[in-house]
Amino acid sequence: MSAVGVVDRAGWAELVRNTGGRTLTPSVVLFTGPDQVLVGATARNSAVLQPDDCVQFIKREMGNPHYSFIDSHQVEHRPEQISAYLLRALADGAAEALGEPVEDVVITVPAYFDDTRRKATADAARIAGLNLLRLVNEPTAAAISYGVQHGDAGTVLVYDLGGGTFDVTLMRVSGDSCEVIATDGDRNLGGFDFDNALMRFVAERVAELGGEEDLLEDPYLTAEVRERCELAKTDLSQAHRTVVRVGSGRSAHAVEITRERFEEMIEPYLHRTEVLVEGLLEDAGTTWDQVDRVLPVGGSTRIPAVRALLEKLSGKKPDLRVHPDEAVCLGAAQLAAQVAAAAGSGAAPGKELAVRDVTSQSMGIVVTADDDASQLLNDVVIARNTAIPAMVERTYRTVAEDQDAVSVQLTEGEGEVLERVNILTEQPVELPSGLPAGAPLRLRMSYDTDGLVHAELFDETNDRRLGEIELERPLNLDAGRVDEMRAAMQRMTVG
């Protein structure tokens, strides 16, 4: 689900209703023609009839260069474009409701999004014709909303389990600040996986009842089963049993599902969240006794088994005072008002919080081993969970006399083993002539408030700047391609 929030004249954040009169918009895109796109409830309701033209859960594919959606008109769409359609529809709907154009935006992202996925999200905003003020981590936005609404000081653990992603964030909230201590997560863990588990169970039962053996290989039946299973998942948060009815072959089949059986299906996924939560607390040097409140955020936290897990782990009942579907958006709106006011383009919100976030990924550089110049290692420069914005300088040395260049490879990931990290960019940098072996070269690496990394290299011998390391980001679109997609967006009818 997606939502749009604004801060009213009294300084309070509120959600903006879409053209259908609802505050939540399904994050679903339907391609109805070569230049026509539908977004939201209409698109979701048409998924069963037009599965080949419908795409959802695109957040999981952001920054994936190998993914593209090809609709029935044989038009290819990158994840950045699909996300841009969603953003454009949300902005247009908000503009209609507010009676004025919407151009400046703050967009929320999963806390565990890496540089590639954050850059892809920023590209989507540009393609949609929006001016991105800030990217903010979703758990941080939820904590902002909590802090503004309730103002309770203490250490808060935000457990954010949505439709496609999972984040867990530990932070300190006070009357005037929100400081993130540590964050972790899994960008491929959420309600979508619960739906898939239900779908597999239903397909197996239908086969046992004499229905089709390959129910989930038919795209139309798959779309129908997914829709029914999503409804069943919701029902099981209120009732102890439900029935999924599926038309298969010559007859319809009714598959009964109990809450107990459903909880067995999703237990492996919940265990993955438990491992991440416990690991986060260990990394932060924090015990459950030091956690004052647990905030469940995201639609999947409505599942009773999720809340029971949180109570078992923490020894305290989850704090349900923030709306699981709305808290992230309301916090982002509050932050947007603060950013706009600081830039002189908007009125100050009624209550402001100083927000301090952390890096979700470690950033480093490829270096040679001290005892073997042929062995390459990853050297972490900015560690995960460092407060941002951050700037770290580190000095390295040339390996040969009169060395004419160095190859700078910036990395993202943990540990020294090069095969376990991502190479963000590889760029040759020319060196001045006459440098001795072991000449010092200083790397300055910074991490901005949007979670994007920047780097510069300096020659300390001659006290000169050698230049900025341009992050070509091979997994992302180049600037020219983004501009092409932005121009193409202007020819699209998005509704």
Q: At 29, which CATH number?
A: 3.30.420.40
CA pair distance 367, 399, nearest whole angstrom: 11
Give me the pLDDT at residue 426, please: 85
Same-domain check for residues 195 and 53: no
Same-domain check for residues 58 and 130: yes
In a domain, 64, yes or no: yes
Give me the pLDDT at residue 460, please: 92
Q: How many domains does the chain have?
A: 3
pLDDT digits (tens, 9 = 90+) for 206-221: 888 877 778 888 888 8
Same-domain check for residues 39 and 136: yes
Residue 345: pLDDT over 70: no
Query: Does 389 sit behind a cis peptide bond, omega within 30 degrees of 0 on the bond before it?
Result: yes
* Mean pLDDT along residues 60-85: 91
pLDDT digits (tens, 9 = 90+) for 164-218: 889 999 999 887 788 899 998 888 899 999 999 999 999 999 888 877 778 888 8
Same-domain check for residues 455 and 340: no
Same-domain check for residues 326 and 376: no
From 225, 243, 264, the end of a domain falls on 264
The model's confidence at residue 330, banded by pLDDT at 50, 70 and 90, is very high
Of residues 85, 99, 77, 73, the one with CA closest to residue 16? 99
Give me the pLDDT at residue 347, please: 58
* Mean pLDDT along residues 287-297: 95
Same-domain check for residues 347 and 399: no
In a domain, 493, yes or no: no
In a domain, 291, yes or no: no
CA pair distance 451, 473, nearest whole angstrom: 14
Residue 127: pLDDT over 90: yes
∠ Cα 236 4 293 (to 5°): 55
From 235, 264, 293, the end of a domain falls on 264
Same-domain check for residues 333 and 397: no
In a domain, 212, yes or no: yes
Q: Which amino acid is at 385?
A: N
Total-model pTM: 0.85
In a domain, 108, yes or no: yes
Of residues 404, 399, 406, 402, the one with CA closest to residue 373? 399
In a domain, 467, yes or no: no
The model's confidence at residue 249, banded by pLDDT at 50, 70 and 90, is low
Q: How far is CA 153 from CA 156, 160, 439, in A?
A: 9, 20, 50
Same-domain check for residues 6 and 121: yes
Residue 227: pLDDT over 80: yes
Same-domain check for residues 136 and 233: no
pLDDT digits (tens, 9 = 90+) for 309-328: 999 999 999 999 888 899 99
The DSSP string of 155-199 is: EEEEEEE-SS-EEEEEEEE-SSEEEEEEEEEETT-SHHHHHHHHH
* Mean pLDDT along residues 464-475: 78
Same-domain check for residues 250 and 344: no
Same-domain check for residues 393 and 333: no
Give me the pLDDT at residue 450, please: 76
Using CA atoms of 293, 297, 301, 307 in order, give the dihedral in degrees to the nearest 10. Answer: 0
Look up the domain containing 408 and give its range: 363-462
> Strands 440-447, 5-7: parallel, antiparallel or unpaired by DSSP?
unpaired
The enclosing domain of 240 has a CATH number of 3.90.640.10
CA pair distance 494, 84, nearest whole angstrom: 10
CA pair distance 2, 12, nearest whole angstrom: 20
CA pair distance 450, 459, nearest whole angstrom: 29
Supply 31's token pair: 């391609």
Helices (H), 21-175: 41-45, 79-98, 115-127, 138-149
* Mean pLDDT along residues 275-290: 95
Same-domain check for residues 11 and 139: yes
Burial of 470 (0-12, 13-18, 19+ CB in 10 A): exposed
Q: Are 58 and 43 in contact (CB under 8 A)?
A: no
- Residue that has been written with the tokens 């089949």 in this structure: 253
Backbone angles phi, psi at 384, to 5 degrees: -60, 145
Backbone angles phi, psi at 423, to 5 degrees: -90, 115
In a domain, 104, yes or no: yes
* Mean pLDDT along residues 265-293: 95
Residue 231: pLDDT over 80: yes
In a domain, 412, yes or no: yes
